[in-house]
Structure 1
Amino acid sequence: MPLHLIVLVLTLIASDLHCGNGARILGVFPMPSISHQVIFRKLTLELNKRGHELVVLTPDPVNDTTLKNYKEIDLHFLYDSLDLGSHIDIRGKIDFVDIFKYYEALSCFHTNEVFNHPEFRKLYAPNSGENFDLILLETFVYPAFLSLAERFKAPIIGIASAGLQMSVQYDIGNPILPSHPSNWNKDMRDFGAWVPWERLDNFIKAWRHIYYYRTEFLPKHQAIAEKHMGIEIPHLGDIHKNISLIFVNQQGPISFARPNLPNIIEIGGFHVSESIKPLSMDLQKILDNATQGFIYMSLGSNVKSNMLKEETRNEFIAAFSELPYKVIWKFEDEVLPKKPDNVIAMKWVPQQAILAHPNLKVFIYQGGLQSTEEAVSHAVPLIGLPVFGDQDMNVDKMVSLGVAKKLEITAVKRDDLLEAIRTIALDKGYKQRMLTLRSLLNEKLRDSLENAIWWTEHVIRHRGAPHLHSSTSDEPWYQRQDMDIVAFISAIFVITLISSLVILYKSLIYCLNALTRNFTRSVGKDKKGN
């Protein structure tokens, strides 16, 4: 064999083996939601390509038998218990603290079910002989799995499919900003309250949530973890604050900028396909013939159009019937009542292929982060109808950038919807600003996935990242952001003010008494003189 061929073969073998530095990684992603899982999946598959061995717990396995050193523990059964009713019905009726309590029972149930999974039990059993170099863990509502760091004596990297909730930020020592636009834990709707009172309300709710999370939610998960592990576990909050870093599915140009710790690493756009599958021939023909343009509407995978009340649905139908455009509507029932001729209802839609079509004028959506990223990647202006979670924040950011309009899904009126569609479809400024935003999003120093891989392997090499740990996470709540100093200065100010008022009051009384005595003496002298 020629020498150059031998060198080529050896190079390919070496690249495939990655120099024998592959680590063993445990990925735990229990949330039964495909919009979450697509983010985690991209990272784990790429790590596997780099030569790492992975064991992944997920409700949405890829089931690819060609993958080597990639074992999946299927948690798809968690979807069977995911019956939370219509998110639209509870919008604006309960605040974030109550919504979190709403998930509490389900979170505990799911956690117990995962720990009881036979394959997982064999994995974490004390005598299993299993070892891992790293744990990748979804940071959402399953803190009991933080205990795996103690069981395997391995560092943890957290990963979030959206911006971090307040409880997570508190644990790691990130600044708590209750009224900042990046805080998706605020009230879902802005009711036009006087700003100082609104900020006070946000402050109270933020700290109520943190208090509830640490005093009620965490102890329940601590008990679950200790019951299944059979070992004493440090406080889950202490494990959490010492995690190496957290990958957060946020991208600067489409997020509200806020101060973050160096161990919060922004990722994003993982799921956006580089190569898009073609549309069916029938659908392709319909969209190609829509020379005036067409509208696309989808409320995502967790919120569905068939959740809309009949009254609200009729408002959409009435508005769509007046448009000169075709409308592709992701509608999950077999039949869309009163469907106009220009509306095509589909139970499933190849969203990225639809967004890539040049005749698309407007995308009407629920404000999901993944849908937002897809829309920006294809430069499609938006109409947002947020329902829950981070959706209000995402839509608000798009509105602030001049590429979207926002409507309230619980109070949609046909005239408002028509005005929003016509404004965006006819004003070329929305499209141009979206093109500019896409260019900004694509301009990166390093690819997001490459960056995530680098940080992951950095943590593996150094058995953690204590150099990124913030001492703020070790401080009691009242010392964070100098709240104790503010309270002290406020107390001194109040005491000084009250003391000054008391002194002023007594001085005034003394002066009045003195004037009264002098006046009395003067009157007495006048009477004697007379």
Structure 2
Amino acid sequence: MKLLILFGLALLCGVESLKVLVYYPLPVRSVSILGSAVVKHLMDAGHEVTYVTVYPLKNMPPTLKQVDISGNEEMVAKDESLSIAHMLENNVQDTDVLFVQEFGKELSSQTFSNENFTKFLQDTSQRFDIVIADLFESEVCAGLSVVYDCPFIWFYSMGAHWHVLRLIDEGRNPAYDPDYLTTTVAPFSFLERTEQLWARIKYTVLKTFITMPAEKKMYEEIFTPLVAKRGRTLPEYEDVIYNASIIFGNEHNAVKRRPSTPQNFKYIGGMHIPDPVTPLPKKLQDLMDNAKHGVIYFSMGSFFKSKHLPKSLVRGLVKTFGELKETVLWKFEEDLPDLPSNLHILHWAPQSSILAHKNLKFFITHGGLLSSIEAIHFGVPVITIPVYFDQFTNARKAVENGYAIRVPLNYDLADNLKPAIKTMLSDDTYKKRVTELSAIYHDRLVPPGKEMVHWVEHVVRSRGAPHLRSPALDVPLYQRLYLDLLALILLILYIIKRIINILTRKSPKKNDKKKKN
């Protein structure tokens, strides 16, 4: 008995509560869901968390402290180019690279000038064991690891894209690793390979010569006084942004054609999904239980709202859904008049709980990555209507993986949906394929939330996990490309050529003729 008590005490002594700073400044609710999940899993593991967020959580225990930066919402509220109406009217298919980079830079500027966050950073009594930060196009926030003199982890809301991998290893080959802002997936045609190479060059040039110099200046202005106040000097920007211990990627192993990743890139896609799933409200539960012909669920996500669709398009969709015998649930942010009996409007939708219901036939979605992961998690085929950003890539991947049909966003959406819905209802291939992917997705040693917590604790225990880091970052670019070897070969060839020219040069003929007087 005494041995058991001693053993139990030893286990308790080996578990330490960490102080974790979680930084999520992006004013997008779907991304904040990931931040909330990080916070929840860490707190469930007994750690103290300080959460820098645009969307503060309610009714939380005292072990959670929050820094309210809700003022960041103004950045998207006033930008009409980010509305679904703008995307529809202008038939937007590609994302403006410079716009995205500049948005990330401005997001950092606004966050670090926020009154609440500024006050928090000025408090020199704050101590943290590790910083976890959302990565969106700007790396300025990596300076937080310098302020608190602790390891740093990036959390990326998408997959293993090259411009993220470059922070811990090197970008993969554009011949097979697509840019996340384009619409293609490997394998590429000759033209697509050329386009991917150009996208890589364009992004790198803009980042290197326009965005990054401005970010470096911002980093120095923000963090020099903060670090000096703590009695230290600020390291170089390049040394800090490439110093992360791990990157968590919000993707999973079930999808095919993922690029190879270094050992400190960890897939934890699906960790935001509650387990067990939250029960449905009784009214919605009864509705889905009693749907004799099954249920179709339609949502355009939290950022692009259905209420912003043109009225003519909304009327067309209502008519299309009304012609079905299936029950249709549509996440629509305001009431609609004169609805057919099978169509039900949800101002807010408990999406995971809806997708988990046995009567759900398929999911009509904008193709956001969270929705894509949830579809595979619950084994639900999808019709995808991508709008912007990475949604085109997600839609293409879903189609390539065999569990989705893509329908373009345009004014003919209502008519174009009809054949897609008919195919999805009559062809069980999509359901079979997503069921196979779901089985692969769930075949894990541990749930993704527990895996995330393990690696956070591992990084702290190993003082930054230097053993996981790739040697690629220690090798200069000219050495990785063997430019020095190429220069040596060219020099040798040049010398050989000169020697051959000297040896084969003809001697000038002597003029034996004497000049006559």
Q: TM-score, normalised by structure 2?
A: 0.82
What CA distance in whole angstroms lies between the structure 2 residues aligned with 1:66 and 1:7? 32
**Mapping 1:183-202, distance limit 5 Å:** 183-186=179-182, 188=183, 195-202=189-196
Pick from 220, 230, 252: which aligns with 2:214?
Answer: 220
Letter in 2 for 1:55: T
In 2 relative to 1, CA 56–271 (structure 1 residues): closer, same or farther, beyond 3 Å? same
Q: Which residue of 2 aligns with 1:452?
A: 452
Cα distance in 1 between the residues matched to 2:284 and 2:21: 42
How far off is 1:350 after superposition?
Answer: 1.8
Gaps of at least 5 residues in structure 2 are 495-517
Q: Indicate the larger mover: 454-463 or 80-89.
A: 80-89
Change (3 A) 1:164 1:312: farther
Q: Could you list the per-position Cα deviations for residues 252-271 of structure 1 after superposition, in whole angstroms to 9, with x for gaps in the alignment?
A: 10353211111111112111
Which residue of 2 is the match for residue 389 of structure 1? 389
- Tell me what 1:120 maps to: 117
1:45-93, Cα deviation, whole Å (9 max, x unpaired): 322333333222112232344242x211122222233223345434764
Deviation of the 1:339 alpha carbon: 4.2
Distance in structure 2 (CA, Å) of the matches to 1:412 and 1:184: 27
Which structure 1 segments of 5+ residues have no match? 496-530
Aligned residue in 1 for 2:357:
357
Map Cα deviations across residues 369-400 of structure 1 (whole Å, 9 max, x no partner). 21122222222211011122222222222222
* Separation in 2, partners of 1:165, 1:253: 16
Shift of 1:315: 4.2
The amino acid across from 1:227 in the alignment is E
- Where does residue 528 of structure 1 map in the other structure? none
Q: Kindly provide the CA deviation profile for residues 299-357 of structure 1, in whole angstroms up to 9, marking residues without a partner as x.
A: 10011212333454344334323222221111123336x74443222221222222222
Indicate conservation of the 8 Å contact 1:133/1:463, yes or no: no
State the match for 1:167 in structure 2: 163
Q: State the 1:153 CA deviation.
A: 2.1
Aligned to 1:326: 327
Relative to structure 1, the CA distance from residue 223 to residue 309 in structure 2 (aligned partners, 3 Å threshold; closer, same or farther) is same
User: Structure 1 residues 101 and 340, CA, compared in 2 at 3 Å: closer, same or farther?
Assistant: farther
Aligned partner of 1:517 in structure 2 is none
8 Å contact 1:166–1:210 — kept in the other structure? no
Structure 2 CA distance for partners of 1:256 and 1:58, relative to 1, 3 Å: farther
Name the SS for the 2:325 alignment partner: coil
Measure, in 1, the Cα distance between the counterparts of 2:332 and 2:446: 38
Match of 2:269 in 1: 268
Paired with 1:182 and 1:199, the residues of 2 have a C-alpha distance of 9
- Relative to 1, partners in 2 of residues 1:465 and 1:419: Cα closer, same or farther, differing over 3 Å? same
Aligned to 2:149: 153
The 8 Å contact of residues 31 and 59 in structure 1, kept in 2 or not, is answered as: yes
- Structure 1 position 176 matched with structure 2 position 177: no
Say which SS state the counterpart of residue 167 (structure 2) adopts.
helix
3-state SS of the aligned residue for 1:225?
helix
**d(CA) in 2 for partners of 1:23, 1:444:** 26
Provide the alpha-carbon RMSD of the alignment: 3.4
> What is the CA–CA distance in structure 1 between the aligned matches of 2:13 and 2:417, rounded to whole Å?
54
Q: Distance in 2 between matches of 1:238 and 1:315?
A: 55
Compute the displacement of 1:8 (Å). 7.7
Q: Which amino acid aligns with 2:132?
A: L
Aligned to 1:306: 307
Q: Deviations over 1:461-516 (max 9, x none)?
A: 12112222223234455655x48599989x99xx9xxxxxxxxxxxxxxxxxxxxx
Structure 2 vs 1, CA of residues 484 and 306 (structure 1 numbering), >3 Å: closer, same or farther?
farther
Match of 2:131 among 132, 135, 147: 135
Tell me which structure has the larger Cα radius of gyration: 1
| Aligned counterparts of 1:435 and 1:485: Cα–Cα separation in 2 | 51
Residue from 61, 73, 76 that aligns with 2:56: 61
For the Cα contact (< 8 Å) 1:267–1:449, is it kept in 2?
yes
Q: Give the TM-score taking structure 1 as reference length.
A: 0.80
Higher helix share: 1
Please tell me the residue identity of whatever aligns with 2:422: R
Q: Which amino acid aligns with 1:132?
A: F
Q: Tell me which residue corresponds to 1:442.
A: 442
Paired residue for 2:65? 71
Number of residue pairs aligned between Structure 1 and Structure 2? 478
Match for 1:253: what amino acid?
A
Deviation at 1:19, TM superposition (A): 4.1
Amino acid corresponding to residue 435 of structure 1 in structure 2: T
2:372 counterpart of 1:377: no
Residues 143 and 236, structure 1, Cα contact 8 Å, conserved in 2: no
Alpha-carbon spacing, 1:189–1:454, altered in 2? closer, same or farther (3 Å): closer
